[in-house]
A and B are shown apart, each in its own frame.
Chain A
Amino acid sequence: MAETVDGKKDEADYKRLHSFPLIRHTDMSEEMRVETMELCVTACEKFATNNESAAKMIKESMDKKFGNSWHVVIGEGFGFEITHEVKNLLYMFFGGSLAVCVWKCS
């Protein structure tokens, strides 16, 4: 009993502790990285239940800001192999369970 309670606490703990946005891999410039990360966080928070809308928002904003042909994937479990333009990739975690991958390739 105590264990399951502890287990639940741990889960809630780690979710809370791990909810900050965390960059897993990127080769963007500092400025671009910061802006993109903020955008992703905003989008994911706004469309917490709908990954598609969040991805749409991110993609459209990125296209406007940084040029055409951005691709965005948001999800909790997926594998990928992509070709991206150098210095235009961001792969980050957010909210403890979401992974966001944003890259440019025309």
Chain B
Amino acid sequence: MSIPHKVGTVKSKQAPNVNTQPKAPVAKGVKAAGKKRDEEEATDTAEGEEWMQGKTLVKPPDQLDLTEKELNEEITRVLTANNPNAPQNVVRYSFKEGCYKPIIFVDQMAIHFELEGNLVHKESDEGQRLMAKQAEREDGAGDEKLDNLAKAGKKARKLTNQFNFNERASQTLNNPPRDISCQTEPPPRANFSATANQWEIYDFYVEELKRREKSKEKQEGQFLNKEEDKSKKKMIQAETQSDDISQLAHAAKIIERMVNQNIFDEVAQDFMYFEDAADEFRGEKGTLLPLWKFLYDKAKGLSVTALCWNPKYNDLFAVGLGSYEFTQEERGMLLFYTLKNSSYPEFSFNTASGVMCVDIHEQMSYLVAVGLHDGCVAVYNLKKKSDQPIYNSTASSGKHRGAVMQVKWQKDDLDSNHNFISVSADGRVVSWTLVKHELVFTDIIKLPAMDKVPDDLKDVIATAGTSLDFHKQKDYHFLVATEAGKIHKGSKYYSSKFLETYDAHFMTVSRVRWNPFHPNVFISCGWDWMVKIWDHTIESPIFTFELKTSVTDVAWAPYSSTVFAAVTTDGKVHVFDLSINKYEALCQQKVVSKKTRLLHIEFNPVHPIIIVGDDRGHVISLKLSPNLRKKPKEKKGQELPKGPEVEIAKMEQLLSSLR
């Protein structure tokens, strides 16, 4: 029997008389059925009532006959959205796995009806086009045309809607592109080749060192050379060298000084502080306290021929070493000692022949002039490290033909060139000027011949000059002493004759010196055992002293116009103070061992010490005891009078007492 299917029914009822059995699931269907029935039979209220009252049911003929049980049985039906017409066992070939694989998910959509719409949005492109077409078509209408246009225009105008955001874009004018290309010149190139070997490196370094030494010398000489500039430029880069050695030298020097000071500590203390208290009890007499002894073993066999204190550095002095004997070997040395180091000279220079005299320039204390035994004069520059003099008169003519006995620096001439004057055994007094690289000589005067020499030989046999001194104030006045025992007073401006001649000694005059304070007084000493003091206006000496042996040197004290000291060949030092005792020495002291002759003496310009040189090449320093350094007693209440005037006055007093 066919069961009538009604579309949309959820449940199918089994029994028509379901109304009476109000079971929940069935009730739905009943209600639905009930509603339908109501609708069908709604017109008849009476029938409704009848239905509600429950009346006899009409059974359709082809309905199933089921038992009560079967009627009550619940049959569940599920509705799914599956498309019954969709295939359920679709199989596809999978290339990956190489076999047929069933596809599980099959599209279940069944399209019952499809209709494409013909609505177009009026603001879309297509809509606009259509509207425009429409407007064209209705153009022919005439009156309506404007309206239509207006309408179209209206329609075409966008509705301003504040919620509608507009995009505006515009394109500026783009300049047309243009291709430009350029090729620069490549940076210039050059080839370079070299070899880097150990020997090349070594050679180059050696060369460089040599070059540096040379240019250093040149630099110090203040000569500008084009080549030197170039090499300087090359040097500048490499001047980051580390001067290990020279720094060490400096440190070593300091240590040397310290060691020396420690060794000679007592001497140094004496030098500074010791004042002989015993002097008070000695009356007038004084003593000399030996301090340092300077000797240099390379100077063995040489005698001290010259001594000179450095005017700028009061502890530095120069010693010239040579020989007075003509037979001895010709060599000489110039040494510089400092009181701070008595064991080794600060500077030493070897000279080809014996040094006979030394003078240090007053202002430029590094310029040292020496006169040599062979007649040469040389100038050394202490600032330079080299052993050679910066000037030497060997090459030039005008070299003395005899030993140079004395040199003295003069003030710079008008061209600011340094110059000095020398006197030698050939009887000439010559002025030497330092001009750039050379010494230029000018004869000043020639010593007059000795009386004993016959007239025709006067030009040949020269009168040897032995000493020279310039006046302290009027420096064009000078005194020259000769071997003949005469002293000549001359003037630089007057070259033909001497102003005056004094018959000083019977034998060689070994030294003549002006008094440092009094302008008229000078002193001389000679091998005839005499020391004489003169007033240059008077022909005969004012004072005469006889010392027992040949006097080799005499010197005025720098602190007093009446004090002087003399050295003799018996090794004694004699110190005189004329203001205290006009006849006798205040001190006569032997300072060297037997058979050593003292040859030179010099006072230190500042300290109360003297240095004496002997013929063994030794220099001994001695300190003057207080008695020898007396200054005039000041009266109570009076100020201490100043130096020079007092000294001059002292001397004047003395002199006047004698006249």
Interface residues of A (CB under 8 A from B): 14, 16-25, 27, 33-34, 37, 41, 75-86, 89, 91, 93, 96-99, 101, 103, 105
Contacts and interface: CB of A to CB of B under 8 A. Distances in A.
A16 B209 CA distance: 12
B195 interface: yes
Given A20-B241, A89-B192, A99-B196, 9 more contacts: A16-B245, A17-B209, A80-B194, A80-B196, A83-B192, A86-B189, A89-B190, A96-B202, A103-B192
Contact of A79 (B187, B195, B202, B205): B195
Given A78-B195, A78-B196, A105 B205 contact: no
B188 interface: yes
Q: Which 9 A-B pairs have the closest CB atoms?
A: A99-B196, A20-B241, A18-B205, A81-B193, A79-B195, A86-B188, A85-B187, A93-B201, A22-B238
Contacts of B238: 20-23
Nearest to B201: A93
B108 to A, nearest CB: 71
Contacts of A23: 234, 237-238
A85 B185 CA distance: 13
Contacts of A33: 237
Contacts of B208: 22
Contacts of B242: 19-20
A99 B198 CA distance: 9
B197 A77 contact: yes
Contacts of B67: none
Contacts of B189: 83-86, 105
Contacts of B197: 77
B184 interface: no
A93 B193 contact: no
A77 B198 CA distance: 7
Contacts of B191: 81-84
B199 to A, nearest CB: 10
A91 B200 CA distance: 13
B164 interface: no
A101 B196 contact: yes
B326 interface: no
Contacts, number: 93
Contacts of B204: 22, 24, 93
B451 interface: no
Nearest to A88: B187
Interface of B: 187-198, 201-202, 204-206, 208-209, 234, 237-238, 240-242, 244-245
A82 B201 contact: no
Given A14-B202, A20-B240, A82 B192 contact: yes
Contact of B190 (A22, A79, A86): A86
30 contacts: A16-B245, A18-B209, A20-B241, A22-B238, A23-B234, A23-B237, A23-B238, A24-B194, A25-B194, A37-B237, A76-B198, A77-B197, A79-B196, A82-B191, A82-B192, A82-B193, A83-B189, A83-B190, A83-B191, A83-B192, A84-B190, A86-B187, A89-B190, A89-B192, A96-B202, A97-B201, A98-B201, A99-B201, A101-B196, A103-B192
B201, B209, B244: which has the most chain A beta carbons within 10 Å? B201
B201 A96 contact: yes
B205 to A, nearest CB: 4
A103 B190 CA distance: 11
B198, B205, B242: which has the most chain A beta carbons within 10 Å? B205
Contacts of B240: 20-21, 41
Contacts of A18: 201-202, 205-206, 209
Contacts of B245: 16-17
A96 B234 contact: no
Contact of A91 (B192, B198, B206, B209): B192
A81 B189 CA distance: 13
Contacts of A79: 193-196
A80 B32 CA distance: 113
A105 B240 CA distance: 29
A97 B204 CA distance: 11
Contacts of B188: 85-86
A91 to B, nearest CB: 6
Nearest to A95: B201
A22, A33, A93, A101: which has the most chain B beta carbons within 10 Å? A22
B15 to A, nearest CB: 104
A41 B237 CA distance: 12
Nearest to A93: B201
A6 B559 CA distance: 55
Contacts of A96: 201-202, 205
A28 to B, nearest CB: 10
Nearest to B188: A86
Contacts of B190: 27, 83-86, 89
Contacts of A85: 187-190
A104 to B, nearest CB: 9
A75 B205 contact: no
Nearest to A41: B240
A82 B190 CA distance: 8
B189, B195, B209: which has the most chain A beta carbons within 10 Å? B189
B193 A80 contact: yes
A99 B191 CA distance: 18
B190, B197, B209: which has the most chain A beta carbons within 10 Å? B190
A96 to B, nearest CB: 7
Contacts of B234: 23
